[in-house]
Structure 1
Amino acid sequence: MSTERKILLLGSGFVAGPAVEYILRRPENHLTIACRRVAAVEALTKQFSRAKSESLDVTNEAALDEIISRHDLVISLIPYTYHPLVIKSAIKFGKNVVTTSYVSPAMKEFHDAAVEKDLIIMNEIGLDPDIFDVESKNSIHRFFFFDLNFSNSTMSTERKILLLGSGFVAGPAVEYILRRPENHLTIACRRVAAVEALTKQFSRAKSESLDVTNEAALDEIISRHDLVISLIPYTYHPLVIKSAIKFGKNVVTTSYVSPAMKEFHDAAVEKDLIIMNEIGLDPAGGKIISFISYCGGLPAPECSNNPLGYKFSWSSRGVLLALRNSAKFYKDGKIVEIPGTELMSSAKPYLIYPAFAFLSYPNRDSTPFKEFYNIPEAQNIVRGTLRYQGFTDFVKVLVKIGLLDDSNQNYLQFNSPEISWRDIIAKVLSTSNHTEEGLREAIKSTITENEISEGEIERILKGFKWLGLFSDKPVRRCGTLLDTLCATLEGKMQYEEGERDMVILQHKFEIELKDGTRETWTSTLLEYGKPPGPSAMATTVGTPCGIAAQLILDGVIKKRGVLAPYIPEINNPIIAELEKEGIKVREEKL
């Protein structure tokens, strides 16, 4: 495109960098970064000739309206509580919006207005389990056995076969088809690189790039072949069948016959064609009976050198507040609820790779994802958080003694007398013994017998000392215990120069096949930061955000309304672009 595109990015957090870099690869894109403190983004905007900054208070409706009216698309990286203000203004001026936040009830209320104005309000773009397509697991293909004899006799006439798709099913199908010397195969998929290793193994196989939603391109490639094998998601089969009937070509799929496919029956009979479906062992992959998804943004192991095994790459307040959330999920078909006060006690070891000692705990409400992911048979659905071992017990003690309390305390106000952590701990524990030994004993008394091992308690107390919580030096008073603790943690637990972070995400699917047997598959992402470049967290949140913005600008995403990436129409193009950026998952059968 040569037409100039004006993009507005609201916010100045660490995520902004990768998003800006991705967006400004396109010469037609011009970017304005708007935030309360322009100085926070000056270093970033100076790196790009087509980026500038402006000061903005998003709670000022007139100022927000004015700046949004001047741009073509809005990317909102500000706290989610302000998104409704942004969406309201964007709809007023007919502008699309991208956010990295969950769809809150307040945001959902704008859905009808967005649809009415033919707008996209794209949310939940970034590091999130949902971005990696769950629905594709509903159509996992296992073993692919079929005979493509065109007659009972061996044929010497060259046959041109088109195979659509690049999944793991393709390999066995290709090998079988090319046993016959008259068969020549074209594998067509959106990302040719995905099948290059396969086509190089066979002299009569080649690859072509194809977007099956491009009717003209699909017609052209089908017209050049004698038979079509469709291994793409079943929702696209009607497009393939329609084109194949137009040009008199037979079709083979591994999917069940959907109502949309069944509608082509009479036309196929009239043209004396075969549209063969449900070929293979359990072509639809059975049903998902368990979906477990855990994600962690952590220091790389060599940088996890503090008592919590954690460092802050974003708001410490947000991290700590999340530790008080209640959780809700499905287990064995029943809803389980865990109050926030018991969240850390619910943590359990979780094995992904033996080199990592992870603990997992559920994150907020996972129950709506049965509907979002269209997995009604699932008996277990949990989305949760990963931390290194030792984190949850440490936090449990912080909670027990009240340090995550966010209510105002008179003695922590800015104009109150100076106070040390030693005196604060004594105050919250109601003890008159302000010595380190006295405070240690008071903390131990809050822990129930056998709740935490003696060795672990000693490690935690040493951690308190490392943080300065037994110190007699004056603290930076921030109004509440939570915010005062945040100030201390941020001073001690930031990433040092040259240290790298790590993002790990794993989906685990248990699938029940039609014969009653079960299979377990995992889909795992492991990403490290690249000092002095962007962190893994910034890359996995900011890059998808930039991609989503560009796809909207290019008209790739057709759906309208307040959206989240739960469907292939949205996921697939984002995943394809992420893989080009080197962000990809590894799938394994356990």
Structure 2
Amino acid sequence: MKKILVFGAGRSATTLIWFLGDHARSEEWHVTVADASGDLVQEKIRNHPALHGTEVDVQSAKQRSALIGAHDFVISLLPWTLHTLVARDCLRLGKHLITASYVNEEMRALHAKARKKGLFFMGELGLDPGLDHMSALHLIQKIKDEGGQITSFHSYAGGLIAPSCDTNPWHYKITWNPRNIVLAGQGTIQYRHHGDLRLIPYHQLFQSAMPIAIGDQDRYEVYPNRDSLRYISMYGLSGVPSIMRGTVRVRGFSAAWGALVQLGLTESQTPLGVDKPLTWEELIAGFLVRDVNLSVRERCADFLQIPAHHVVMDQLEWLGLFSDRPIGPLGLTPADYLQGLLEEKWKLEPEDRDLVVMEHRIQYHSGREGREIRSSLIYEGTNKDKTAMADLVGLPLAHATRLFLRGKLKGVTLPVPFEPGITTPMLDALAGEGVCFEERYCSPHEAASFHHLSS
């Protein structure tokens, strides 16, 4: 019997945990779920006879090592900053490890050492990163196998709310790590367009969002991700003139989020130096020029250089930024206060269904003909617990676990899912779960229309 340990029982862990429990008997697995919150663990395992739960302080070397040492295969859904603690123990104790997080240089170094010991270490096995890699590489290889020469690669993804559950003016609710939402896009954005380097500073990023249709839904917008250029070598796109990855939102989100950025509410480094609790109206007023003749909303509109009746101002009003509601305890940063507010205002209701959209658009030459292929995934969740986000993070991890423990990944050598030896069986397994990409060739008019928008 193989013993599997899952670190982390947060939002994205639900589907993974239930999959492992449901297949434990047939696969002869013993599954343990460990988290800092014992209550959260019990909520996730739901008295499932094949699942065992424990509370753990992952920062405690003694507790962490004891748990890892008692298992064969470790899945970490902890914050990425804690993966190296787990990975070092797995390396020392001779245990296999997978995660859904980006593989940094330290994890790459540990992967190299793990390979020498015959251990399987792999990251980027979730949705983004993970499914985005596997589906994009499948499409790229398909074009190359047909003799096509790629001239443009665009890839977009976003975690949204299903239209039928869209009940707020932001058209957004939280289905993944709220901290990552608040800090999204920070740093300088870079991508390639017609061979030219394009750079966008953080404070202008959200104003650069472009309208886009995905599938039959003409309601989205996309803004560029931080560093699209790193995918040139990762995806074998050297010499391709146009490369961009982006984040999808429903139209109207980016303009309003850009207003929060301009106001300074996503600043995460400097705690506010106040000695008494503030209201949201007082906090916003602190960012603005004082004028006793104007309301805070009017002064905010002047600062943002938009009319006071603009829809963005209504979105800010809906959040409560001009209210007398207390912002929270002393000593936090603006980003901390904003995160706390959004976790309440953008909370999923029990029957809410989220939505994940992903699309790859590749233009290429086949002989003398120019073509564009689009590969789209539109995947809707079931409810607050079984979200699309949890499915698309958890199912890749679950199937990677099963494939490895069945001995199906012996030829895989990289620390990320880039080789056909893992991408092909993974995509096949996910298709069996209903995670299917629809491919279509778009008309020259569609391709030209988008080409104009993205220039």
Q: TM-score, normalised by structure 1?
A: 0.70
The 1:95/1:562 distance shift into structure 2, 3 A limit, reads farther
| Alignment match of 1:575 (pick from 427, 430, 440) | 427
Deviation track 1:96-120 (CA, whole Å, cap 9, x = no partner) reads 1111111112211213201211112
1:60 shift after superposition: 2.0
121-130 or 4-13, which deviates more: 121-130
| Alignment match of 1:342 (pick from 201, 204, 207) | 204
1:290 aligns to what SS in structure 2? strand
Q: Which residue does 2:133 correspond to in 1?
A: 130
Contact 1:321 1:404 in 2 (8 A): yes
Instruction: Indicate whether 1:384 and 2:236 are aligned.
Output: no
Please state which structure has a larger fraction of its residues in helix. Answer: 2
1:360 shift after superposition: 0.5
Contact 1:118 1:561 in 2 (8 A): no
Instruction: Indicate whether 1:421 and 2:280 are aligned.
Output: yes
Deviation track 1:65-98 (CA, whole Å, cap 9, x = no partner) reads 2211111101000111111111111111111111
The 1:368/1:326 distance shift into structure 2, 3 A limit, reads same
**Distance across 2 between alignment mates of 1:93 and 1:324:** 37
The 1:136/1:420 distance shift into structure 2, 3 A limit, reads closer
**Distance across 2 between alignment mates of 1:139 and 1:410:** 53
Q: Which residue does 1:519 correspond to in 2?
A: 371
1:588 shift after superposition: 0.6
**Distance across 2 between alignment mates of 1:134 and 1:561:** 16
Q: Which residue does 1:510 correspond to in 2?
A: 363
**Distance across 1 between alignment mates of 2:329 and 2:311:** 27
What RMSD, in angstroms, separates the aligned Cα atoms of the two structures?
Answer: 2.0
Matched letter for residue 442 of structure 1: R
The sequence identity of aligned pairs, in percent, is 31
Where in structure 2 are the equivalents of 1:558-569 lying within 5 Å? Answer: 558-559=410-411, 563-569=415-421
The 1:410/1:588 distance shift into structure 2, 3 A limit, reads closer
Where in structure 2 are the equivalents of 1:445-484 lying within 5 Å? Answer: 445-448=302-305, 454=307, 458-477=310-329, 479-484=332-337
Q: Which residue does 2:436 correspond to in 1?
A: 584
Q: Which residue does 1:372 correspond to in 2?
A: 234
**Distance across 1 between alignment mates of 2:264 and 2:250:** 23
Matched letter for residue 361 of structure 1: Y
Instruction: Indicate whether 1:490 and 2:351 are aligned.
Output: no
Matched letter for residue 125 of structure 1: L
Deviation track 1:347-372 (CA, whole Å, cap 9, x = no partner) reads 11122235331111111212121221
1:432 shift after superposition: 5.5
Q: TM-score, normalised by structure 2?
A: 0.90
1:417 shift after superposition: 2.2
Contact 1:298 1:502 in 2 (8 A): yes
Q: Which 5+ residue runs of structure 1 have no aligned equivalent?
A: 142-282
How many pairs were matched up?
435
The 1:465/1:447 distance shift into structure 2, 3 A limit, reads closer
Contact 1:7 1:29 in 2 (8 A): yes
1:518 aligns to what SS in structure 2? strand
2:295 aligns to what SS in structure 1? helix
The 1:66/1:344 distance shift into structure 2, 3 A limit, reads same
**Distance across 1 between alignment mates of 2:64 and 2:385:** 32
1:319 aligns to what SS in structure 2? helix
**Distance across 2 between alignment mates of 1:463 and 1:284:** 48
1:556 aligns to what SS in structure 2? coil
Contact 1:530 1:536 in 2 (8 A): yes
Matched letter for residue 127 of structure 1: L
Q: Which residue does 2:447 correspond to in 1?
A: none
1:430 shift after superposition: 4.4
**Distance across 1 between alignment mates of 2:201 and 2:413:** 33
The list of structure 1 runs, each at least 4 consecutive aligned residues, that deviate by more than 4 angstroms after superposition, is: none
Contact 1:35 1:56 in 2 (8 A): yes
Matched letter for residue 427 of structure 2: I
1:541 shift after superposition: 0.8
Matched letter for residue 584 of structure 1: C
**Distance across 2 between alignment mates of 1:503 and 1:139:** 24
**Distance across 2 between alignment mates of 1:512 and 1:419:** 59
**Distance across 1 between alignment mates of 2:421 and 2:434:** 21
**Distance across 2 between alignment mates of 1:403 and 1:504:** 27
**Distance across 2 between alignment mates of 1:382 and 1:461:** 31
Q: Which residue does 1:44 correspond to in 2?
A: 44
